């Protein structure tokens, strides 16, 4: 993290230690990404990571739909670390490389399922216009359901927070890795 000195994990406050322990024991298993910044506000860090965990693992959306939404959000915010990390996870979830590359460059990807297309349409339209048209909304409700649409918006909101944190504190891809976006 170029704007914040790394935390000395042996000198955390009791509140920071509780959150750090939960992060290390949880599905992420590491203190990376926005963690170093968020741990400076441990109550917030705890709440934020619970939200991240829910939006990644606890929604009604298929894992590839979640990853698609995260990639779209990372592209919107041009968040280097977020896109780099989630491109690998999207690939594992089944999103093809050509779709990942299209999202990275801002082109519409070829998507092979109605839920992926509905998610793409909602997120893309919302980022472009700050609204969602009646037609896009109705299609999303028909395909994703009300809970699915709420979960989709929760994913983009949560990962908007992640992306903003990464950008403000200049969290970059690991050394030797290619940055997804030109400066």
pTM comes to: 0.95
Quote the pLDDT of residue 75.
Answer: 98
Tens digit of each residue's pLDDT (9 = 90 or more) over 134-163: 999 999 999 999 999 999 999 999 999 999
Average pLDDT over residues 107-125: 97
More confident of the two residues 183 and 135: 135
Quote the pLDDT of residue 30.
Answer: 82
Tens digit of each residue's pLDDT (9 = 90 or more) over 1-47: 479 988 899 999 999 999 999 989 987 788 888 998 999 999 999 99
Q: If you average pLDDT over every residue of the chain, what do you get?
A: 95
Q: Give CA separation, 20 vs 10, 31, 40, 171, in Å.
A: 11, 7, 11, 18
Average pLDDT over residues 81-86: 97
Task: Indicate if the alpha-carbon torsion angle 160, 83, 147, 116 is positive or negative.
Answer: positive
Domain spanning 63-168 has what CATH number? 1.20.1290.10
> pLDDT grade, residue 117 (50/70/90)?
very high
Tens digit of each residue's pLDDT (9 = 90 or more) over 43-72: 999 999 999 999 999 999 999 999 999 999
Quote the pLDDT of residue 1.
Answer: 47
Residue ranges of the domains in the chain? 14-57, 63-168
């Amino acid at each position: 993290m170029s704007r914040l000195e790394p935390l000395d994990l042996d000198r955390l406050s009791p509140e920071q230690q509780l959150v750090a322990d939960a992060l290390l024991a949880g599905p992420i298993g590491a203190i990376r990404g926005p963690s170093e910044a968020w741990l400076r506000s441990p109550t917030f860090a705890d709440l934020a990571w619970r939200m991240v965990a829910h939006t990644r693992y606890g929604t009604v959306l298929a894992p590839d739909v979640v990853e698609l939404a995260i990639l779209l959000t990372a592209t919107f915010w041009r968040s280097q670390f977020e896109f780099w990390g989630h491109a690998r996870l999207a690939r594992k979830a089944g999103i093809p490389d050509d779709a990942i590359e299209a999202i990275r460059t801002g082109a519409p990807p070829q998507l092979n399922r109605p839920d992926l297309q509905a998610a793409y349409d909602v997120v893309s339209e919302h980022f472009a216009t700050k609204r969602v048209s009646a037609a896009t909304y109705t299609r999303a409700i028909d395909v994703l359901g009300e809970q699915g649409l709420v979960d989709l918006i929760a994913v983009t909101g949560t990962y908007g927070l992640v992306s903003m944190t990464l950008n403000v504190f200049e969290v970059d891809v690991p050394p030797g890795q290619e940055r997804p976006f030109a400066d």
